[in-house]
Chain A
Amino acid sequence: MTESVLSTLSLIILFLPLLGFTVVILLGKRFPKLYLFEVAILTIAFILSVVVMYSKLAYYLNSDIISSFNWITIGAAPLAGVINIELGIKIDNVTVIMLFVVNLISMLVHIFSIEYMHGDQRYTRYFANLGLFTFSMLGIVLTHNLLMMYIFWELVGLSSYLLIGHWYEKKSAADAAKKAFIVNRIGDIGMFIGILILFTHYKTFTFDTIFAQISQGNIPFNSEAWLTAAGILVFMGAVGKSAQFPLHVWLPDAMEGPTPVSALIHAATMVAAGVYLVTRIFVMLTADAMLVIAVVGAFTSLVAATIALTQNDIKKVLAYSTVSQLGYMIMSLGVGAYVFAFFHLVTHAFFKACLFLGAGSVIHAMHHEQDIRNMGGLRKKLPLTYATFLISTIAISGIPLTSGFLSKDGILAGTLAFGKLTGHWLIPIMGFTVAAMTAFYMFRLVIMTFHGEPRDHHKYDHAHESPWVMVGPLVVLAALSIFIWYTPNPLSPDAGWFMKEWVKTPSTVVPESSRFEFMQSASHETEVHGEVVHSPLYTETMHWAHYPAMGMSILLAGLGILFAFLFYQWKKINADNLATKIKPLYNFSLNKWYLDEAYDATAISGTLNFSKILSWFDNKIVDGAVNGAAWLGRFISSLSGLFDTFVVDGLVNFTAFFSGFIGLAFRKLQTGKVQTYIVFVVFAVIILLLFFKPF
């Protein structure tokens, strides 16, 4: 399998879902069965991605495949030099793994949806949009440059808009879709400006070219501050897409979309894109940028975890748990634990997809009931769903023998090492707190949903296990949540092929003065692809952190689970009483830190009011000035009109009037009677005679 075949296959994988989308959206109305075409296309794409992954990892483990072409040619621009804008793909190990993950989950979601969405009014359109979504995500995965990243980034925004708003006749769904798009846009503007900084300086969007330039000391505008700014601004895109604080508010609302969509968006595609973006720009992040990223990630995971503690909607709990886990990944990247972040991205994709699809199965069985207070005891009715859900929950809680344990443990060890190396201990503290909370709220969810006695008997009686089309994907995903796929040693991820062979921390390119001491770049002479690049100090610290982190995380997760059982299974502690006792805190969590309200009160209503003021200004002042000028013009013209009428024309008229007046006076004389005239003549003669006195 040559490189060109590999890149061609990747392109086929990329464009297959687009083909599906186009065909289904154009012909879907006429041929309602076309959704099967879309499913088939995703299956083919998945098979191809397995092939691509296998060939890449087997034959080109340490070499990247890049193919690109000139998209826009500005040519030799005056004062700016040659500007050519390239599009292209880069296939490295991270790419092929993501290809596999995205296609697998997308395919499973497609299959799951066949049954879940059955009877929907816009059934074929739904599948078409899934295809568009997958296409956009694959574009992000494959791209080798920032521009294409941004392009597909926005396309993900569009397709998420379409999918979240699938049931647009519901106002809440339409609202949620709009919110998702606009909140994402806020982050995207930052990302766009970041990209502009890089492009302005380097005249290229291509990652590798930019990184090569930076590693040679050529940094934007010769200022490390600009490099930091570029890193943070591009990261803002991830803040939006990966739902990091303070832009995470769109994600829970996005639960208005169909549940399989939630699985797709929140497991493998949209939110993963943000983390993936940060892995792509990881090497150019300065120490300051990384610290910002770490803090944002840690804080996000904490905020989301505290909110998840009290939510009662099965999907909302999962949504906040997603935000929390994404915070983990971002934090992990911020502390330099690149590999674990990506590892967690993959493992999380599987178990979170499983959880969402499991929730979908539950909701399907309960006839669209989502409130866990109305569930309970479902494990007897939905045994398979329960089993897979439980496995995924154990995985997300970080219990040994699961994939989640491996990746989470790595992240926590990374934060611990970071704390030791830099003194930022707050980050590991937040990380461990979240670990305990995660275990607690996830088991709360399991217990409330599946254990105990049914609370809504009517719905319980009608519930039944979902068909295999839905359960099958659950089983596959639950199976992928077991450690064995990643490493032979259930306690040490380092031993696994994933860590050891496939994904390695790339060497940083940032100038020495602005990077963490423990971050090391391969020296120019010895730069070999995939070389281990952390300093010995860092490796040592990671070893030091490994066991304490593991012990603590197991302990905390265990405590979380214990409390969950105490509260909800054995009812040793009355959760409601506790809630009333700490009412303000409880409400703060239940109401999501009042962030939506705060945004409504400030940013949104501020913008709207400002727009109203400006509109008023436009209408009254700007247009008023125009109309005022017109009025003034008319006024002046009416003045001059008056002058014209009364003075200029007045003179003319006066002449006429005067002659008229005279005429009027003499008209009296003109009687038309001969006699009168004769009288005049006689008098005239007499007067003449008297006057001239001829005699």
Chain B
Amino acid sequence: MMGFPILTLITFLPVLGMIIILFLKKEQGNTIKYTTLAITAIQVVLAIILLTNYNYSAAGVYEERSFQFIEKFRWIEIGGISWLGTVKIDYFLGVDGLSMPMVLLTALISFIAAISSLNINHSLKGYFALFLLLDTGMMGVFVALDFFLFYIFWELMLLPMYFLIGIWGGPRKEYAAIKFFIYTLFGSIFILLVMIGLYFSATETLADGTKVFTFDLLQLMNSGNYTADGILSPLNPNNLRFVAYLALFVGFAIKIPMFPFHTWLPDAHVEAPTPISVILAGVLLKMGTYGILRISYPIFPDITRDLMWWIAIFGMVNIIYGAFVALAQKDFKKLIAYSSVSHMGYVLLGMASLTSTGVNGAIFQMFNHGTITAMLFLIVGVVYDRAHTRGLDDFGGLALQMPAYTGFVTVAFFATIGLPSMSGFISEALVFVGAFGVDSIRVITMISALGILLGAGYMLWTLQRIFFGPLNQKWATLKDIDSREYAMFIPLTIIIIFLGVYPSAMLDIMNTSVNTLVNFLHNNFTVSSISGL
């Protein structure tokens, strides 16, 4: 298996699908749909093949040789620019314990979203072509190990998202799409700046002994590679490293989304079509936290250690604030959007702990939030497709009318609440365990625990308002879920419960890497390690 470019395949397979679709005729709607479905299904199969060949004890993180399924070759090389030396950019893919769960998640959510897309009914060709392009962008972000490549994928996924919301969205789709696009682009600029700053700060020694500037993330994680006068070098006495960290953090935080950069999320979610909401919540939000873990943390361990308290504070604010605002929502989808804000707060809190338990919990929470929130958005989609309203107060008694649907809703809601035996509990518990273990953020953790209560509050209240009580006669004709919807819900339900009962299936994948990462964060870029250069 090694040597076979499986990561390239899994990343660019959707582009292949997109090309096929572009050659199909507009009228071949079903062929287009099932091509997409097949492509995403193959992607899932590839992800499973990746998993079966995955070495659980290889760490990755900063060490190239313990990354897996590596593909690396020179992509762009421009020699002999007088003041620059050689510009080189690698095509460098690989996975480790941080990215493997995300690759699995992306494949899974894309597949589920493809099923959900089967009822898209206009401009099919454009929709599915963009959908697949989006898929490539997402997958690429999680497997890229070169900052430049990472950035390309990061931006690549923006464009299809813009059109998917802006064309197939709800009534205020243009506003939402532009807000999403501009906001994310705003963040990207920061990332770009920091990327360039880092490029001019660190060098990589090539095989022939020459030193060239590098975009290679792993080289950037090595404090020995920084030149003494590089602008973001730890040796440089200016405080630009701190500023760069903040800029990078803001770039990623917008995607998470972290308070106060979260307001694009409710709008984008409310206006996006169901499958796109699913992808948005299921995968896109994870890119922010993944970016922090993959880039901000190991490249700036010094600043990370200084700022962990602040990250925890923002995590807490996200949890509590998101939950409170969710409590006040009257729109089902908005409520779920704010619950996402709240739940991504747990990820931040777990990451802020800089402990193995906390970071394990954070990554696991990323995966679980991906599956659970995807299910929640699918749930909203089901009821919206039928009733064409999402007002929480417009319903009542749907449990009588749609019992199977209510069953899945109950599973998803209780998973959101963090009920034990479902995956969300494990990750939240690990986050709390990890964060509580750190003296400086213990109080923050205790306050964050309130989120558990508020979560139960808004979810159960929603359950009651929509599903319980006497049946609103207006909805006496609604049909229970059909086989397409079963096909979306059943896999997610199984995964949620399976990981709740047997979390090691996922935790073991990330565990070695997380331990390595945490160790790295605590011991690198320290005063002693830098002065020892």
A and B: interacting chains: yes
Bound: A615/B182 CA distance, A: 23
User: Are B325 and A150 touching (Cβ within 8 A)?
Assistant: no
Bound: A647/B414 CA distance, A: 62
Task: Please pick, from B260, B503, B522, the residue contacting A78 in the complex, using a CB distance under 8 A.
Answer: B522
Q: Is A495 an interface residue (CB 8 A)?
A: no
**Mask for B491-533, Cβ within 8 A of A = 1, else 0?**
0000000000001100110011001001100100000000000
Task: Please pick, from A72, A185, A611, A622, the residue contacting B324 in the complex, using a CB distance under 8 A.
Answer: A611
User: Are A178 and B421 touching (Cβ within 8 A)?
Assistant: no
Bound: A266/B431 CA distance, A: 34
Task: Please pick, from B182, B357, B420, the residue contacting A74 in the complex, using a CB distance under 8 A.
Answer: B357
Task: Please pick, from A78, A151, A196, A618, the residue contacting B263 in the complex, using a CB distance under 8 A.
Answer: A618
Q: A80-B356, A178-B464, A182-B453 are in contact. Are A626 and B179 (CB under 8 A)?
A: yes
User: Are A607 and B469 touching (Cβ within 8 A)?
Assistant: no
User: Are A169 and B397 touching (Cβ within 8 A)?
Assistant: yes
User: Are A79 and B453 touching (Cβ within 8 A)?
Assistant: no
**Mask for B436-469, Cβ within 8 A of A = 1, else 0?**
1100000001100110111011001101100111
B263 contacts across to A, CB distance below 8 A = 618, 622-623, 626
Bound: A151/B426 CA distance, A: 10
Task: Please pick, from A78, A151, A165, the residue contacting B356 in the complex, using a CB distance under 8 A.
Answer: A78
With both chains docked as a complex, state the minimum distance between the C-beta of A71 and any C-beta of chain B, in angstroms.
7
Chain B residue with minimal CB distance to A162?
Answer: B410
User: Are A189 and B182 touching (Cβ within 8 A)?
Assistant: no
User: Are B453 and A185 touching (Cβ within 8 A)?
Assistant: yes
User: Are A169 and B522 touching (Cβ within 8 A)?
Assistant: no
B446 contacts across to A, CB distance below 8 A = 193
Bound: A322/B57 CA distance, A: 54
Chain A residue with minimal CB distance to B449?
Answer: A189
User: Are B464 and A73 touching (Cβ within 8 A)?
Assistant: no
CB proximity to B under 8 Å, residues A178-193: 178, 181-182, 185-186, 188-189, 192-193
B507 contacts across to A, CB distance below 8 A = 72-74
Task: Please pick, from A78, A181, A608, the residue contacting B515 in the complex, using a CB distance under 8 A.
Answer: A78
CB proximity to B under 8 Å, residues A613-651: 614-615, 618, 622-623, 625-626, 630
A151 contacts across to B, CB distance below 8 A = 420-421, 425
Chain A residue with minimal CB distance to B399?
Answer: A168
User: Are B464 and A80 touching (Cβ within 8 A)?
Assistant: no
Chain A residue with minimal CB distance to B450?
Answer: A189
User: Are B328 and A614 touching (Cβ within 8 A)?
Assistant: yes
A630 contacts across to B, CB distance below 8 A = 179, 182
Task: Please pick, from A79, A155, A196, the residue contacting B421 in the complex, using a CB distance under 8 A.
Answer: A155
Task: Please pick, from A173, A178, A196, A607, the residue contacting B436 in the complex, using a CB distance under 8 A.
Answer: A196
Q: Is B227 an interface residue (CB 8 A)?
A: no
User: Are B329 and A77 touching (Cβ within 8 A)?
Assistant: no
With both chains docked as a complex, state the minimum distance between the C-beta of A417 and any C-beta of chain B, in angstroms.
37
Bound: A611/B179 CA distance, A: 25
Q: Is A76 an interface residue (CB 8 A)?
A: yes
Chain A residue with minimal CB distance to B501?
Answer: A71
**How would you classify the secondary structure of chain A's contact residues: helix, strand, loop or mixed?**
helix
Bound: A579/B27 CA distance, A: 81
With both chains docked as a complex, state the minimum distance between the C-beta of A301 and any C-beta of chain B, in angstroms.
26
With both chains docked as a complex, state the minimum distance between the C-beta of A452 and any C-beta of chain B, in angstroms.
37
A607 contacts across to B, CB distance below 8 A = 324, 327, 454, 457
User: Are B504 and A154 touching (Cβ within 8 A)?
Assistant: no
Bound: A151/B507 CA distance, A: 18
Chain A residue with minimal CB distance to B451?
Answer: A189
Q: Is B264 an interface residue (CB 8 A)?
A: yes
With both chains docked as a complex, state the minimum distance between the C-beta of B89 and any C-beta of chain A, in angstroms.
32
B: number of interface residues (CB 8 Å): 62
CB proximity to A under 8 Å, residues B323-367: 324-329, 355-357, 360
Q: Is B19 an interface residue (CB 8 A)?
A: no
Bound: A193/B259 CA distance, A: 25
CB proximity to B under 8 Å, residues A581-622: 607-608, 610-612, 614-615, 618, 622
User: Are B437 and A200 touching (Cβ within 8 A)?
Assistant: yes
User: Are A182 and B325 touching (Cβ within 8 A)?
Assistant: no
**Mask for B249-277, Cβ within 8 A of A = 1, else 0?**
00000000001101110000000000000
B430 contacts across to A, CB distance below 8 A = 72
B512 contacts across to A, CB distance below 8 A = 75
B259 contacts across to A, CB distance below 8 A = 622
Q: Is B111 an interface residue (CB 8 A)?
A: no
A78 contacts across to B, CB distance below 8 A = 355-356, 515, 518-519, 522
B327 contacts across to A, CB distance below 8 A = 607-608, 611, 615
B454 contacts across to A, CB distance below 8 A = 607
Q: Is A174 an interface residue (CB 8 A)?
A: yes
With both chains docked as a complex, state the minimum distance between the C-beta of A175 and any C-beta of chain B, in angstroms.
7
Bound: A161/B432 CA distance, A: 25
User: Are A614 and B325 touching (Cβ within 8 A)?
Assistant: yes
Q: Is B475 an interface residue (CB 8 A)?
A: no
A626 contacts across to B, CB distance below 8 A = 179, 183, 263-264
Q: Is B471 an interface residue (CB 8 A)?
A: yes
User: Which of B262, B436, B519 has the largest count of A CB atoms less than 10 A from its CB?
Assistant: B436
User: Are A186 and B264 touching (Cβ within 8 A)?
Assistant: no
**Mask for A135-150, Cβ within 8 A of B = 1, else 0?**
0000000000001001
Q: Is A152 an interface residue (CB 8 A)?
A: yes
Q: Is B84 an interface residue (CB 8 A)?
A: no
Q: Is A60 an interface residue (CB 8 A)?
A: no
User: Are B464 and A181 touching (Cβ within 8 A)?
Assistant: no
Chain B residue with minimal CB distance to A26?
Answer: B407
Bound: A196/B426 CA distance, A: 14
Bound: A618/B317 CA distance, A: 13
User: Are A74 and B400 touching (Cβ within 8 A)?
Assistant: no
A175 contacts across to B, CB distance below 8 A = 464
Chain B residue with minimal CB distance to A157?
Answer: B419
Bound: A565/B183 CA distance, A: 76
Q: A74-B356, A178-B460, A614-B324 are in contact. Are A192 and B471 (CB under 8 A)?
A: no
Q: Is B321 an interface residue (CB 8 A)?
A: yes
User: Are A182 and B519 touching (Cβ within 8 A)?
Assistant: no
User: Are B328 and A611 touching (Cβ within 8 A)?
Assistant: yes
Bound: A152/B326 CA distance, A: 28
With both chains docked as a complex, state the minimum distance between the C-beta of B516 and any C-beta of chain A, in angstroms.
9
User: Are A200 and B471 touching (Cβ within 8 A)?
Assistant: no
Bound: A434/B98 CA distance, A: 59
Bound: A638/B150 CA distance, A: 35
User: Are A200 and B433 touching (Cβ within 8 A)?
Assistant: yes
Q: Is A171 an interface residue (CB 8 A)?
A: yes
User: Are A192 and B452 touching (Cβ within 8 A)?
Assistant: yes
Q: A79-B355, A618-B325, A630-B182 are in contact. Are A74 and B453 (CB under 8 A)?
A: no
Bound: A197/B446 CA distance, A: 10
Bound: A185/B400 CA distance, A: 27
Q: A189-B452, A608-B327 are in contact. Are A158 and B469 (CB under 8 A)?
A: no
Q: Is B171 an interface residue (CB 8 A)?
A: no
With both chains docked as a complex, state the minimum distance between the C-beta of A655 and any C-beta of chain B, in angstroms.
36
Q: Is B237 an interface residue (CB 8 A)?
A: no
User: Are A72 and B503 touching (Cβ within 8 A)?
Assistant: yes
Bound: A83/B504 CA distance, A: 13
Q: Is A199 an interface residue (CB 8 A)?
A: yes
User: Are B456 and A155 touching (Cβ within 8 A)?
Assistant: no
Q: A77-B515, A152-B420, A192-B449 are in contact. List 14 more A-B contacts (CB 8 A).
A: A71-B504, A73-B504, A74-B515, A80-B437, A168-B464, A168-B467, A189-B450, A200-B433, A200-B437, A607-B327, A608-B328, A615-B327, A622-B262, A626-B264
B interface list, Cβ under 8 A from A: 179, 182-183, 259-260, 262-264, 321, 324-329, 355-357, 360, 397, 399-400, 414, 419-421, 425-426, 429-430, 432-433, 436-437, 445-446, 449-450, 452-454, 456-457, 460-461, 463-464, 467-471, 503-504, 507-508, 511-512, 515, 518-519, 522
The 7 closest A-B pairs by CB, nearest first: A77-B356, A151-B420, A615-B328, A174-B468, A611-B327, A623-B263, A168-B468
List, sorted by A's number, 22 A–B pairs whose CB atoms are closer than 8 Å: A73-B504, A75-B512, A78-B522, A80-B437, A83-B357, A150-B420, A154-B425, A158-B414, A158-B419, A168-B399, A173-B468, A175-B464, A178-B460, A178-B463, A186-B453, A189-B450, A196-B433, A607-B324, A607-B454, A622-B263, A626-B183, A626-B264
